[in-house]
Amino acid sequence: MSAKEHSLKTIVTLLPYLWEFKARVVVALILLVLAKLASVSVPLVLKEIVDALNQPHAMLTLPFFLLLGYGLLRLGSTLFGELRDAVFAKVTQRAIRRIANKVFAHLHSLSLRFHLERQTGGVSRDIERGTRGISFLLNFMLFNILPTILEIGLVMAILINQYDIAFAAIILITLLAYITLTLIVTEWRMIFRRTMNTMDSKANTQAIDSLLNYETVKYFGNEAWERKRYDEHLQTWENAAIRNQTSLAALNSGQSTIIAVGITILMFLAADHVIQGTMTIGDLVLVNTYLLQLYMPLHFLGFVYREIKHSLADMERMFSLLDENREIQDKPDALKLNARNPAIRFDRVNFGYDTNRQILYDVTFEIPAGHNIAVVGQSGSGKSTLARLLFRFYDIQTGSIRINGQDIRDVTQQSLRAAMGIVPQDTVLFNDSIYYNIAYGRPDATQEEVYSAARSAHIHDFIMTLPEKYETIVGERGLKLSGGEKQRVAIARTILKNPAVLIFDEATSALDSDSEKKIQAELKRIAQNRTTLTIAHRLSTVADADQILVMENGRIIERGKHIQLLAANQSYARMWALQQRQQAISPDTDSRLSETSTSITNRQ
């Protein structure tokens, strides 16, 4: 799609938001016309005033009504313009709000694949510039380009009607030359603006990424390296900005030259007509005033056209986010999930994040209602992928995943995820209070329910020791809390949600041995009579599961109860023996090993 088609598509996208307030748009346009009629009438009245005063002294009288009319027209041209802006303000701001909200909602509807690949800083900056561009585009397209065209038309009609057609021809040629120069040079300059936008987004992305990973930067002493990377983007931006500014200066000089030549020729012609007696001094003032009056909006028009092109470029990037395909979508006839006493079945599931990298091979198992099925295996075996598929963050290639006989692809995503709760191995919290993060599990919960969930997760007593208690801010991604504290908040959040299906993905991986025993007992309590999938690296935490699945390289290689798997003396038995030896050497070794594997497993 060409740049012109992109621009047209962007403008068409905005029209429904304008038409939501039809009456306001119509009133604003009426006020616009009134403002321009008043503006065009000012030079006509000024001509009559000059001619009235250009009399022999004995015949001079004060043109009272002309002067009063002049003042009222001046006031009207400004007042109608201000009223127009006031009437249109709601249209602009509502459009910005609705489009920004639409983009935000669309980003949440995109698949996990998009969000794993996105650059948060760049996306954030694209939305910021795009919404700012909407305001500029709506206001200046309607209230500068349109009225300027209207004013040019009115001036041409007056000049052709009252004077030699040469006056209209000179003004028209001047305006056409001005507009042609502006369009050609502005199109050429757009490459600099697009480069600036791209580099601005990249620099912002790199800055945010670096600041989010502040500790990692410090661990490796790479502050200078980060500054160098950031400066590389800024240097490209600087070069583009310099070329943008110098080319702007050249454009402004060219525009001023065209207007100066036009005015000079016009004044020579008008002065000649005054000498010949075919025009009065008032007529000369009128012609000069009209060109000067057109020059100001035209000079502004050059700026407006440039900024509209810039705004369209900015909005292009924002609207391109709306063009991102929603990989996971509800079917038109999708039903709500029947989550009562849920039984889950994976049936011959094959899945890969990419076509050339398969993760799961022919995976089949069942979790009867109210049972706890555990999945164990080495890092990279595909355990955490099962949870992502159950939440339908991705769709499987072949096979099916059913809950109470319903294929999860046939039910709404909202009802599916409402029925499930997860305690992930890598807990990321919002940069808000502890209370907010726990209440996120069920935002309409009462304060006592939030406190009860915190007690169940054994974090209430810790919170009460903090100076600001539940109002303590946890920091970006929860970095002010330890790994164990974040994990307890995640557990409390899930307890508060009270889901029918529970998923524990290395739920106690960040806890010490004593805390783990307390939390494990609590997790068993809340898992009673719930359908539970437990993903674990530490085998001791799942020894009492109803069934244990052992995965390796995306396949289930063993299944059975703990005692049965030990008796089989295969892969599970070897892992159990290894972990028992490690535990005997150091009670915390197993915990550390689990924590070490967390980041690797999280990419499964």
Rounded distance, CA 173 to CA 179, Å?
A: 10
Half-sphere exposure at residue 220, Cβ-oriented, CA atoms within 13 angstroms? 9
Provide the β-strand partners of residue 38: none
Q: What is the pLDDT of residue 50?
A: 80
Check pLDDT > 60 for residue 602: no
Residues in the chain: 604
DSSP state of 477: B
Q: Which residues, 6+ apart, have CB-to-CB distance to 150 below 8 Å? A: 32, 33, 36
Q: What is the pLDDT of residue 591?
A: 43
Structure tokens at 336: 């709500």
Among 167, 147, 424, smallest CA distance to 287 is for: 167
Find the range with the poorest average confidence among 49-63, 254-268, 499-513, 562-576: 49-63
Check pLDDT > 80 for residue 411: yes
Check pLDDT > 60 for residue 156: yes
Check pLDDT > 90 for residue 345: yes
Q: Answer positive or negative: Cα dihedral of 313, 318, 324, 330.
A: negative
Check pLDDT > 60 for residue 103: yes
Q: Where are the alpha helices (DSSP H) in 457-512?
A: 460-464, 483-497
Question: What is the helix (H) or strand (E) element at residue 502, kind and residue range?
Answer: strand 501-505
Rounded distance, CA 265 to CA 287, Å?
A: 12
Indicate the Cα dihedral angle 13, 14, 15, 16, nearest 10°: 80
**To which residue do tokens 């009504």 refer?**
65
Q: Is residue 62 very low, low, confident or very high in pLDDT (cuts 50, 70, 90)? A: low
Rounded distance, CA 77 to CA 89, Å?
A: 19
**To which residue do tokens 């739920």 refer?**
507
Residues 572, 537: contact at Cβ < 8 Å? no
Residues 138, 91: contact at Cβ < 8 Å? yes
Q: Is residue 533 very low, low, confident or very high in pLDDT (cuts 50, 70, 90)? A: very high
Q: What is the pLDDT of residue 132?
A: 72
pLDDT in tens, 78-102: 888 888 878 887 777 787 777 777 7
Structure tokens at 496: 């508060």
Check pLDDT > 90 for residue 474: no
Print burial letters for 20-44: b (CB count within 10 Å at least 16), e (below 16): ebeebbeebbebbebbbbbbbbbbb
Q: What is the mean pLDDT of residues 173-180?
A: 85
Q: What is the mean pLDDT of residues 298-322?
A: 70
494 compared with 603, residue with greater pLDDT: 494
Residues 496, 438: contact at Cβ < 8 Å? yes
What is the average pLDDT score of the chain? 79
Q: What is the pLDDT of residue 590?
A: 43
**To which residue do tokens 């490690």 refer?**
582
Q: What is the pLDDT of residue 382?
A: 82
Burial class, 549, CB count within 10 angstroms (exposed 0-12 / middle 13-18 / buried 19+): buried
Structure tokens at 528: 């009673």
Residues 466, 508: contact at Cβ < 8 Å? no
Rounded distance, CA 251 to CA 301, Å?
A: 13
Q: Is residue 365 very low, low, confident or very high in pLDDT (cuts 50, 70, 90)? A: very high
Q: Are strands 420-423 and 501-505 parallel, antiparallel or unpaired?
A: parallel
504 compared with 294, residue with greater pLDDT: 504
pLDDT in tens, 484-494: 788 888 888 88
425 compared with 393, residue with greater pLDDT: 393
DSSP state of 480: T
CB atoms within 10 A of CB 163: 18
Domains present along the chain, CATH in parentheses: 3-322 (1.20.1560.10), 355-419+501-604 (3.40.50.300), 426-498 (3.40.50.300)
538 compared with 389, residue with greater pLDDT: 389
Check pLDDT > 50 for residue 589: no
Q: What is the pLDDT of residue 595?
A: 38
Q: Is residue 197 very low, low, confident or very high in pLDDT (cuts 50, 70, 90)? A: confident
Check pLDDT > 80 for residue 261: yes
Rounded distance, CA 174 to CA 412, Å?
A: 62
Q: Is residue 268 very low, low, confident or very high in pLDDT (cuts 50, 70, 90)? A: confident
Q: Which residues, 6+ apart, have CB-to-CB distance to 56 below 8 Å? A: none
Check pLDDT > 60 for residue 592: no
pLDDT in tens, 198-207: 787 778 777 8
Residues 129, 318: contact at Cβ < 8 Å? yes
Phi, psi of 546 (to 5 degrees): -65, -35
Q: What is the mean pLDDT of residues 141-154?
A: 75
DSSP 242-305: HHHHHHHHHHHHHHHHHHHHHHHHHHHHHHHHHHHTSS-HHHHHHHHHHHHHHHHHHHHHHHHH
| % of residues, the chain, pLDDT over 70 | 83
Check pLDDT > 50 for residue 536: yes
Check pLDDT > 70 for residue 414: yes
Among 8, 107, 16, smallest CA distance to 318 is for: 107
Print burial letters for 343-356: b (CB count within 10 Å at least 16), e (below 16): bbbbbebebbbeee
326 compared with 372, residue with greater pLDDT: 372
Q: What is the pLDDT of residue 601?
A: 31
Rounded distance, CA 32 to CA 153, Å?
A: 15
Decide: pTM greater than 0.75: no
The CA-based angle 593-596-601, given to 5 degrees, is 110
DSSP state of 110: S
Residues 477, 428: contact at Cβ < 8 Å? yes
Q: Is residue 597 very low, low, confident or very high in pLDDT (cuts 50, 70, 90)? A: very low
